[in-house]
Structure 1
Amino acid sequence: MPEEAQYAHGHHPSVLRSHKWRTVENSAAYLVPHLTPTTTILDVGCGPGNITIDLASRVPSGHVIGLDRADIVIADATSLAKESGVANVEFHTGDVYALDFPDGTFDVVHAHQVLQHLGDPVRALKEMRRVTKKGGIVAVRDMTDFLHWPEKPELVEFRELFWGISTRLGTHPGAGKMFRKFAREAGFEQSDVTVTSSNWTYADQEGLDFWAGMWADRVLQSEFHDNCVSMGMAKEEDMQRISRAWKDFQTTQDAWYVVTNGELIAKNQ
């Protein structure tokens, strides 16, 4: 399995729309009890920086560094930090497998929806642990599954494509289910590992408009579309049909969509 697996979705605006929606409150609440005003944080795979900047605002006497391998999102994140007036944060390009920091640099090393997109998540966790201070923590959150009602065949097909294309590209869809295994293989003692879970729930019109509308666009416009078609996993007409199904689901009476997520706090003792 390749370590440098390809990110299946790319950075089309339809993808970044979901990344820019994320905050500490809706995506990293499990981490909040571990923060103090002076906490130093490395946010790996920071994307456009929304969670990173939110974290920085919660550690006013600390410092936060956001890291991503895509130059385009680092530029967006840097601009957002300036606009937000948050001064204790900076952004750089970098590689999670070779973090350019000395051992024991940070109190917290955090990654949100990152391990599922890697070919070797255990190696990444080992490197994240290396740059974490003794007594500090590695904190990660990743999707585990999709649930929806009323059941719609095209959305089941979409889930199969999501899992299938990620697996074909050498990554780990549903990685949040595997956190205890990953942490053990990365060298953490099980007594130092806490695994929890939380959901993104879209069951009101605002939430359905956001989630279903976003995916209606992504299945046609992002690299997810291009990968599915170029690898022969779906035809163009299939992607068009799935997009229409997302739009229909957006206005389906009593619709309910949930993304379940696993959360890991691993202490570096």
Structure 2
Amino acid sequence: MWHRCYYTWNCRDSGPSGRVVGIDNNLNLIEKARQSHAGIPGLTFEIGDIYNLDYEGQFDIVTSSRVLIWLSDPLKALKAMKSAAKIGGRILVADYNHEKIAWNPQPPSSMLSFYSAYLKWRSDAGMDNSIADHLLEMFKKVGIKEIFVTPQHEVIKRTDLDFQTRIGIWADTASSRGPQMERDGFITEKEYRKAEKEYSEWMFQDAQYLKMYMLAIEGVKLP
């Protein structure tokens, strides 16, 4: 759910002659995917760079999920995705607006402070925290047509069987991104460790609901 990855599909040939290619720049994720899905006909996983997709006009569907929000030049990536699609092919992007997150009740102040620092750390690195709400204009800018937008908000409720795992994403983020943010001068070790600890306690004792704002934008590559 939270992995940084992007995929391209070729549906030109149906059934066993179809082709699906999954691409990521992280070798470890690619190796895990290969191990998990070994033996599935027509499915391959490759190391690649979304800025330089080497598949000119090959795919019926080119899609990414939770990827552009991590890029400093998402427009360049979207152009590469469009180039990989054949004429009449579809481009689909699903991504977040991190500025519209909603917790109920509010998590501890230590997590809110961490989250604020996290958004600033991202924006100072050139990443767009609210990219979901900018995708429509980006699609138009690169010449993608017949665009429509679908809300795909990720809602996590205490009654969900996987509630603790899913809502724990922000404790995991404090643990994994905290050291990077500390090195870059956005937070102290004491602050991110406190955020992780108090958020973990909150999610087991008090948390009821989390909504991650997400939109899916789909369009067509036309001549």
Where does residue 23 of structure 1 map in the other structure? none
Q: How many correspondences in the alignment? A: 215
The alignment partner of 1:97 has SS state of helix
Which residue of 67, 77, 92 corresponds with 1:114? 67
Is 1:193 the counterpart of 2:147? The answer is yes
Any idea what the Cα deviations from partners look like across 1:189-241, whole Å, max 9, x if unmatched?
4xx11112112111125343113434323312x2x112211111111111111
Which residue of 214, 217, 220 corresponds with 1:261? 214
Where does residue 70 of structure 1 map in the other structure? 26
Any idea what the Cα deviations from partners look like across 1:49-100, whole Å, max 9, x if unmatched?
xx889x99xx744210001111111111111111xx4222101111111111
Where does residue 45 of structure 1 map in the other structure? 5
Where does residue 182 of structure 2 map in the other structure? 229
Where does residue 170 of structure 2 map in the other structure? 215
Alpha-carbon distance between aligned partners in 2 of 1:160 and 1:128, rounded to the nearest angstrom: 31
**TM-score, length-normalised on structure 1?**
0.73
- How far is the alpha carbon of 1:174 from its aligned partner? 2.5
- In the alignment, structure 2 segments of 5+ residues that lack a partner are none
Query: Structure 1 residues 163 and 129, CA, compared in 2 at 3 Å: closer, same or farther?
Result: same
Instruction: Decide whether the 8 Å contact of 1:195 with 1:263 is kept in 2.
Output: yes
One-letter amino acid matched to 1:213: G
Instruction: Decide whether the 8 Å contact of 1:198 with 1:262 is kept in 2.
Output: yes
Q: What does 1:1-269 correspond to in 2, within 5 Å?
A: 18-19=2-3, 45-46=5-6, 60-61=15-16, 62-82=18-38, 85-101=39-55, 103-145=56-98, 146-152=101-107, 153-189=109-145, 192-204=146-158, 206-220=161-175, 222=176, 224-253=177-206, 255-269=208-222
Instruction: Decide whether the 8 Å contact of 1:198 with 1:260 is kept in 2.
Output: yes
Alpha-carbon distance between aligned partners in 1 of 2:8 and 2:40, rounded to the nearest angstrom: 10
Query: Structure 1 residues 260 and 162, CA, compared in 2 at 3 Å: closer, same or farther?
Result: same
One-letter amino acid matched to 1:45: C
Alpha-carbon distance between aligned partners in 1 of 2:66 and 2:2, rounded to the nearest angstrom: 12
One-letter amino acid matched to 2:105: P
The alignment partner of 2:33 has SS state of helix
Instruction: Decide whether the 8 Å contact of 2:114 with 2:187 is kept in 1.
Output: no
> Percent of counterpart pairs with the same letter?
21
One-letter amino acid matched to 2:5: G
Alpha-carbon distance between aligned partners in 2 of 1:218 and 1:171, rounded to the nearest angstrom: 16
Q: Cα RMSD (Å) of the superposition?
A: 2.4
